[in-house]
């Protein structure tokens, strides 16, 4: 069979028309359908498919194509004639596919369709980037010739850039939506932090939190329960990001609900822990401090679940107790046997500091951590300041230590000071 003359008027106008359409904003799936339909029409092919290249997996995949079912076709570029086209960047024109070493007959066997000839054209976008492969099947009335290859090459060059643009637009929209969702999640999470600490006669409380990402795995809470008791909570999920933010937010809700149900510390811990053993992924857990400050006897009863050191600054002696965790983190194993540690006795002028490991472990450019001793030094030097100011001194200290080094982990600080008796 003799090829039709190259760029005869009907073909010429069809290519111009598809070029015009491809230059307008079109959804990727719509564009794929348009590309396949035009290519089949111009080159008189029975079927056509556009395979897009996934550079992350080094695979070709087809979302739309003539005769394809709704299930996506995906295969390595090491396989098939389309894969050979993608690897070499050359047009592959095969007049008898069953005589070609790279042809995979499995799809024909599954569909009952008989493939005779194939024309595969690489889709090369800007910066010589592989976008995919256009594959045309069974030329009506014969085989694909040299003129068909030239026409397909002109069409493919237009399609490749348009498909590249549509894919980038889709990725941009997905990224924008994700960023919007993260901002919304951050707003929701930040709204759960106390706007201001409870006003407790005889005490000065302050708190601060700075996530490493848009959302974080740290949270703190301070809640006046009945005028004489105050909930003190700091929780830190391993890792950070939106998954950790959801887990720590769930934990905070559990603690608040348990308090409304008048649970004591033991029951509160047991209910929250057993539920999170079921809910958290196997490699996730929550380190936490759950304490009740009683302003009548000036004691803090607590469970420190993997959370430590707890810092207790004694005003009368200037000594600092570094208290260890009293039990394992939340969510690791159910029904943990608990022994409540001795309460923290708050004498006049004493400061109790709850600080997450993101503060202690923040490195500088030499990978030297800020450390517990630096935290103690800052607090001792500024212990006579209001607690909100002391939080700022700690914040400035760790940020100055970090310098240009990025924040590796979420940071949280909760300070409680018993005011000196008048």
What is the C-alpha to C-alpha distance for residues 202 and 180, in angstroms, rounded to an integer? 43
Helices (H) and strands (E) in the chain, counts: 10, 16
Mean pLDDT of 4-19: 54
Asked if 236 and 413 count as a contact pair (C-beta separation under 8 A), the reply is no
What is the C-alpha to C-alpha distance for residues 249 and 247, in angstroms, rounded to an integer? 5
What is the C-alpha to C-alpha distance for residues 255 and 268, in angstroms, rounded to an integer? 7
Environment class of 225 (CB within 10 Å of its CB; exposed 0-12, middle 13-18, buried 19+) = middle
DSSP 30-74: HHHHHHHHHHHHHHTEEEEEEEEEETTTTEEEES-BTT--SSPEE
Q: Within a 10 A sphere around the Cβ of 169, how many other Cβ atoms?
A: 14
The one-character DSSP state at 89 is T
pLDDT surpassing 50 at residue 375: yes
User: In what helix (H) or strand (E) does residue 221 lie, and over which residues does it extend?
Assistant: strand 218-224
For residue 158, CA distances in Å to 5, 164, 348 come to 21, 10, 78
Asked if 193 and 209 count as a contact pair (C-beta separation under 8 A), the reply is yes
Q: Which of 92-96, 162-166, 371-375 has the lowest mean pLDDT?
A: 162-166
Beta strand 45-54 pairing with 118-124: unpaired
Contacts of 59 (CB under 8 A, 6+ apart): 53, 74, 75, 76, 77
Most confident of 90-99, 161-170, 243-252: 90-99
pLDDT surpassing 80 at residue 308: yes
> What is the predicted pLDDT for the residue at 27?
65
What is the C-alpha to C-alpha distance for residues 396 and 240, in angstroms, rounded to an integer? 22
Q: Which of 65-79, 180-194, 326-340 has the lowest mean pLDDT?
A: 180-194
Mean pLDDT of 59-75: 70
> What is the predicted pLDDT for the residue at 24?
55
Task: Output the CA angle 21-25-30, nearest 5 degrees.
Answer: 70
Asked if 29 and 49 count as a contact pair (C-beta separation under 8 A), the reply is no
pLDDT surpassing 90 at residue 354: yes
Mean pLDDT across the chain: 83
pLDDT surpassing 80 at residue 203: yes
- Picking from 92, 87, 60, 100, the residue whose alpha carbon sits closest to that of residue 76 is 60
**Residue 88 φ then ψ, to 5°:** -90, -25
The predicted model scores a pTM of 0.61
Measured over the CA atoms of residue 38, residue 43, residue 49 and residue 54, the dihedral's sign is negative
pLDDT surpassing 50 at residue 377: yes
> What is the predicted pLDDT for the residue at 273?
85
221-238 confidence digits (pLDDT tens)? 888 888 789 999 888 887
What is the C-alpha to C-alpha distance for residues 37 and 239, in angstroms, rounded to an integer? 48
Measured over the CA atoms of residue 390, residue 395, residue 398 and residue 401, the dihedral's sign is negative
Residue 20 tokens read as: 């015009």
| Chain length of the chain | 422
The one-character DSSP state at 188 is H
> What is the predicted pLDDT for the residue at 264?
85
Q: Give the model's confidence band at 6: pLDDT under 50 very low, under 70 low, under 90 confident, else very high.
A: very low
Considering the domain delimited by 194-418, tell me its CATH architecture: 4-Layer Sandwich (3.60)
pLDDT surpassing 80 at residue 176: no
Q: Which three-class secondary structure state does DSSP give residue 96?
A: coil
Measured over the CA atoms of residue 111, residue 159, residue 127 and residue 151, the dihedral's sign is positive
pLDDT surpassing 70 at residue 70: no
What is the C-alpha to C-alpha distance for residues 44 and 14, in angstroms, rounded to an integer? 13
* CATH (one of 3.40.50.880, 3.30.450.20, 2.60.40.10, 3.30.450.40) for 9-174: 3.30.450.40
> What is the predicted pLDDT for the residue at 168?
74
Q: pLDDT over 70 for what percent of the chain?
A: 83
Domain boundary assignment for the chain: 9-174, 194-418
Mean pLDDT of 99-122: 88
Q: Which three-class secondary structure state does DSSP give residue 166?
A: helix
């Amino acid at each position: 069979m003799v090829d039709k003359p190259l760029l005869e008027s009907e073909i010429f106008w069809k290519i111009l028309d598809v070029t015009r359409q491809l230059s307008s904003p079109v959804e990727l799936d719509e564009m794929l359908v348009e590309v396949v339909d035009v290519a089949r029409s111009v080159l008189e092919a029975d079927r056509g498919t556009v395979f897009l290249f996934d550079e992350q997996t080094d695979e070709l995949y087809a979302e739309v194509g003539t005769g394809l079912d709704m299930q996506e076709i995906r295969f390595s570029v090491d396989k098939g004639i389309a894969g050979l086209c993608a690897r070499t960047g050359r047009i592959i024109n095969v007049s008898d596919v069953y005589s070609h070493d790279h042809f995979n007959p499995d799809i024909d066997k599954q569909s009952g369709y008989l493939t005779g000839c194939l024309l595969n054209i690489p889709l090369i976008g800007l910066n010589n980037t592989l976008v995919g492969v256009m594959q045309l099947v069974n030329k009506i009335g014969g085989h694909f010739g040299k003129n068909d290859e030239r026409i397909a090459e002109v069409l493919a060059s237009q399609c490749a850039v348009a498909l590249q643009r549509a894919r980038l637009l889709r990725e941009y929209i997905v990224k924008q939506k994700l960023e919007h969702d993260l901002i919304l999640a951050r707003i929701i999470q930040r709204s759960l932090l106390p706007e201001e600490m409870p006003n407790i006669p005889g005490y000065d409380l302050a708190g601060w939190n700075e996530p490493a990402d848009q959302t974080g795995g740290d949270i703190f809470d301070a809640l006046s329960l009945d005028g004489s008791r105050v909930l003190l909570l700091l929780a830190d999920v391993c890792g950070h990001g939106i998954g950790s933010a959801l887990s720590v937010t769930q934990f905070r809700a559990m603690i608040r609900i348990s308090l409304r149900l008048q649970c004591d510390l033991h029951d509160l811990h047991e209910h929250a822990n057993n539920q999170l053993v079921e809910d958290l992924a196997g490699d996730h857990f929550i380190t936490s401090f759950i304490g009740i400050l009683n302003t009548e006897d000036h004691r803090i009863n607590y469970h420190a679940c993997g959370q430590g050191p707890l810092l207790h600054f004694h005003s009368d002696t200037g000594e600092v107790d570094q208290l260890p965790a009293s039990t394992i983190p939340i969510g690791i194993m159910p029904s943990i046997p608990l022994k409540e540690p001795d309460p923290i006795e708050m004498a006049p002028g004493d400061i109790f500091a709850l600080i997450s490991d993101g503060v202690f472990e923040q490195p500088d450019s030499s990978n030297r951590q800020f450390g517990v001793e630096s935290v103690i030094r800052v607090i001792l030097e500024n212990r006579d300041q209001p607690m909100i100011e002391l939080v700022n001194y700690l914040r400035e200290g760790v940020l100055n230590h970090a310098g240009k080094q990025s924040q590796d982990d979420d940071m949280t600080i909760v300070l409680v000071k018993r005011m000196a008796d008048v």
